[in-house]
Chains A and B, each alone.
Chain A
Amino acid sequence: MRLWHEFNKGIIKQNPVLRLVLGMCPTLAVTTSAINGFAMGCSVIFVLLCSNIIISLFRRVIPIKVRIPVFIVIIATFVTTVDLVMAGYFPEIHKVLGIFVPLIVVNCIVLGRAEAFASRRSIISSIADALGMGIGFTLTLVILGSVREIFGSGTIFGADILMRFSYHKFGIMLLPPGAFIALGLLMGLMNKLTKETS
């Protein structure tokens, strides 16, 4: 039951992007299409899961004073792994995500979870926390990516939706302004919906 709670909280109640307002840079930058958002989300889930496990395992060994540099090195190692694997197997997506793959190192979600959760809890609850937060992040990215893709190019995950109705592409949704405005409205919608249910 407690594990379910640790897992569940990341998805809506403490959604990293819409609630905690963490990890905004990749959220805005890579969501030009749903598939890009999904790829970014998966990379973050992997890094979050691995770093949470390692940090939770070593939490009694790491000296308190140097814990932040230690966390950063652990995180950076996994980020480099993701970066190289992605460059090897998915070169196209790697090209689109560009410097935002190595920038997962400074993604506040990963370091924030390491500091606030994994460094003081058991390994099992750290895994649940990492999965919940990661999935919450991925969901937000996929939703934002879908919205921008539907309006900007009339497709979702590359599949045609609006184009058959001779839809006039709303190109600005794919450009930086579209990202800011779409995320702002999504956040407002989330505030409105959760306030009414609670």
Chain B
Amino acid sequence: MELFLIFIGAVLVNNFVLTRFLGICPFLGQSQNMKLAFGMGMSVIFVMTLTSITTNLIHTYILVPLELKYLVTVSFILVIASLVQLVDIVLQKLMPMLHQSMGIYLVLITTNCAILGLALLNVVKEYNFAKSLVFGFSAGVGFTLALIIIAGIRERLELADIPKPLRGFPITLIIAGLLSIAFMGFTGLVKM
């Protein structure tokens, strides 16, 4: 039950993009069309779940016993960077088809603050293994949801007559604000 609450909480109530402001860069940069957004979203779900598990194991079995907690930031970012690289190589060997459609996004993911943010949030919230797994997966789903919604809106927006200074990023930010208001409607759904 608690795991389900974490899922709902991360997807709807505390959406990573719209409420926690993590992963704004890909949210603005990779949301021009649905196909791009979907590819990016799937890669993020995959990497987020993997990162969440790995960093949790490293934190509980290496950093805490050795009292190296101050190395959290350094070690997590290195783990994420090498993990993304590893996924890239493994995919290229085993599933070249999937790699072709996902490859370009993988490179961008290392510097996606949502991934490191997720790993750090796991530490702050003191989640155990199962909870980190669910939290990682649902954070990815929440990110994908927000990305796909905004991509859908931006596709329609190309036909709209927008004041010149607001074209591009400014109007996307304003739409994100309106979407964020909509997501605020979910507040209180889960007591975190």
Taking Cβ atoms with an 8 Å cutoff, the residues of A that contact B are: 21-22, 24-25, 28-29, 68-69, 72-73, 76-77, 79-80, 83-84, 98-99, 102-103, 105-108, 111, 172, 175-181, 183-185, 187-189, 191-192, 195
Contact = CB atoms under 8 A, between A and B. Distances in A.
Contacts of B22: 25, 103
Interface string B177-189: 1101100100000
B166 interface: yes
Contacts, number: 120
A106 B170 contact: no
A29 B111 contact: no
Contact of A180 (B20, B121, B177): B177
B77 interface: yes
Interface in B52-81: 70-74, 77-78, 81
Nearest to A187: B170
B28 interface: yes
Contacts of A69: 78, 81
B111 A25 contact: no
Contacts of A172: 181
B177 A177 contact: yes
Interface of B: 18-25, 28-29, 70-74, 77-78, 81, 111-113, 115-117, 120-121, 124, 163-166, 169-174, 176-178, 180-181, 184
Given A73-B78, A84-B70, A183 B173 contact: yes
Contact of A184 (B71, B74, B164, B171): B171
B180 A180 contact: yes
User: What DSSP secondary structure best describes chain A's contact surface?
Assistant: helix
A192 to B, nearest CB: 4
Given A72-B77, A73-B74, A175 B184 contact: yes
A84 B172 CA distance: 36
B165 A188 contact: yes
A177 B7 CA distance: 22
Contacts of A84: 70
Contacts of A106: 77, 111-113, 115-116
Contacts of B176: 180, 184
Contact of B120 (A80, A103, A176, A180): A103
B24 to A, nearest CB: 4
